[in-house]
Amino acid sequence: MACLPLANIFARKTRTTISVLAVGVGVALFLVLVGLTSMLREIADRTTNVQAHLMVWPASDQVVLSGGLPADKVQGDLKAIPGVARAVAVLRWPLKMAGRVQNVYGIRPEDWDLFAGPDRMVEGRALKGGDEMVIDTRLARAGGYRLGDAVERWGHRFTIVGIAREGIAGRVFLPIETVSRATDQDRLRASFFYVRVARPADVQPVRQAIEERGLRAITFDEYYDVLAGSFVDMNLVIGSVVFVAGFVCFLVILLTVYTMVIERTREIGVLKAMGASRAQVFGLVMAEAGLICAAGIVAGFLLTWGSRALILDLQPLWTVDIPAVRFAYAAALAAGGTALGALHPARRAARQDPVESLRYE
């Protein structure tokens, strides 16, 4: 019995190929989109990969958007709160490098230790001041930057003095004074602050004290939710793609198997004449759909692998991480769509009247 579904799908190579590809596209669509959403996680992971406990920014902002806080005054206020060990001002500003807009992290050079230890430096050294720039390895790779290269922006000529292993908060670091001056700020401003508390137990009291001063303070654990919340339609998009991917599998399998059942009406009659039970006929049809689905899943994985490689080649700064569990989820989605799609035609085949089937022209 095992050979019949296999023989049938090989007997209709074009239809099988199209069906397999359609299932594969559904699987790949789902996986690539899920992979692309990992960019958000990567940004959140980087942003919170700092030796601090809280992020602070103006209460009026949903996320860090502006350079609206007076750096020295707010820093002084934060340091005055009992339990605060350090308050680090960051002026985040867009700068185009490697063909894409990067968020420059303007920081005081003495605060570098909160962002990366000495072992994080792959080449060169940390910031000291002036028109110095530190970038991460990923940006260096994407833009072809090397230690000592000059980068001309905002009418300044920045020199890359260090390259740090990727995973640090920003891809580009400059001294905060340099960013402030280069972007024509009237005084030193900050987009947000990292706050390190003396003891972990101080986090909540410090947070409360900060919020009493009209600022927003969130823990790193909350940051991903805040970031995801700024992409309010993301879950809707993911949900839509999951639905489309599942529906594509369902529709393709339904049409394929339905056509197959109609086309093989006589054969089903013959099988019944030979003593095939309803369950056996049902099983044969489902097995054929299952084989198409299995091949479609494999094709989908290959398409995903190819698409991911292509995306990363074209956009090296993008992140397309797909955890193994998502592959299992995609396979389950395709299998579910297939089972639903094949169910009706398989039942129809199983219930076909053998005499009518044998007389079918």
Partner 1 sequence: METILEARGLTKVYHTGAAPTAALRGVDLAVRRGEFVSVMGPSGCGKSTLLYLLGLLATPTEGTVILANTDTGAISDGRRTLLRRHHVGFVFQRFNLLAALSAEENVALALRLRHEAVQSRAREMLAAVGLDDERRRRPGELSVGEQQRVAIARALVTRPDVLLADEPTGNLDSEASERVLDLIGRFHQQSGQTVVLITHNEKVAERAERLVRMRDGRIAGN
| Phi, psi dihedrals of residue 168, rounded to the nearest 5° | -75, 165
Residue window 275-304: x/- pattern of binding to partner 1, with contact defined by CB under 8 A: xxxx-x------------------------
- Residue 232 in the binding site for partner 1 (CB under 8 A): no
Residue window 114-133: x/- pattern of binding to partner 1, with contact defined by CB under 8 A: --------------------
- Contact region with partner 1 (CB under 8 A), list: 54-62, 76-84, 146-154, 261-269: 261-269
Helices (H), 81-123: 112-115
Residues near 271 by beta carbon (within 8 Å), at least 6 away in sequence = 280, 281, 284
Instruction: Determine the Cα–Cα distance for residues 83 and 153; give it in Å rounded to an integer.
Output: 40
Binding residue for partner 1, selected from 1, 59, 310, 332, defined by CB under 8 A: 1
Instruction: Determine the Cα–Cα distance for residues 100 and 315; give it in Å rounded to an integer.
Output: 9
- Contact region with partner 1 (CB under 8 A), list: 43-51, 185-193, 234-242, 267-275: 267-275
Minimum distance, C-beta of residue 281 to partner 1, in the bound complex (Å): 10
Which tokens sit at 226?
Answer: 């805040």
Minimum distance, C-beta of residue 334 to partner 1, in the bound complex (Å): 24
Rg (the chain; Cα; Å): 29
Minimum distance, C-beta of residue 2 to partner 1, in the bound complex (Å): 8
- Contact region with partner 1 (CB under 8 A), list: 2-10, 13-21, 98-106, 123-131: 2-10
Please work out, in degrees rounded to the nearest 5, the angle formed at the alpha carbon of residue 90 by the alpha carbons of 89 and 91.
Answer: 125
Binding residue for partner 1, selected from 59, 236, 262, 273, defined by CB under 8 A: 273
Instruction: Give the helix/strand (H/E) hosting 154.
Output: none
- Residue 11 in the binding site for partner 1 (CB under 8 A): yes
DSSP SS3 for 136: strand
Binding residue for partner 1, selected from 7, 198, 302, 332, defined by CB under 8 A: 7
Per-position b or e across 243-269, b if 16+ CB within 10 A of its CB: eebbebbbebbbebbbebbeebbebbb
Binding residue for partner 1, selected from 43, 122, 251, 270, defined by CB under 8 A: 270
- Residue 358 in the binding site for partner 1 (CB under 8 A): yes
Minimum distance, C-beta of residue 294 to partner 1, in the bound complex (Å): 18
Closest Cα partner for 238 from 307, 329, 312?
Answer: 329
User: What number of chain residues touch partner 1 (CB under 8 A)?
Assistant: 25
DSSP SS3 for 169: coil
Of 12 and 41, the one with the shorter C-beta distance to partner 1 is: 12
Q: Which residues of the chain form contacts with partner 1 (CB under 8 A)?
A: 1-4, 7-8, 10-11, 266-267, 269-278, 280, 353-355, 358
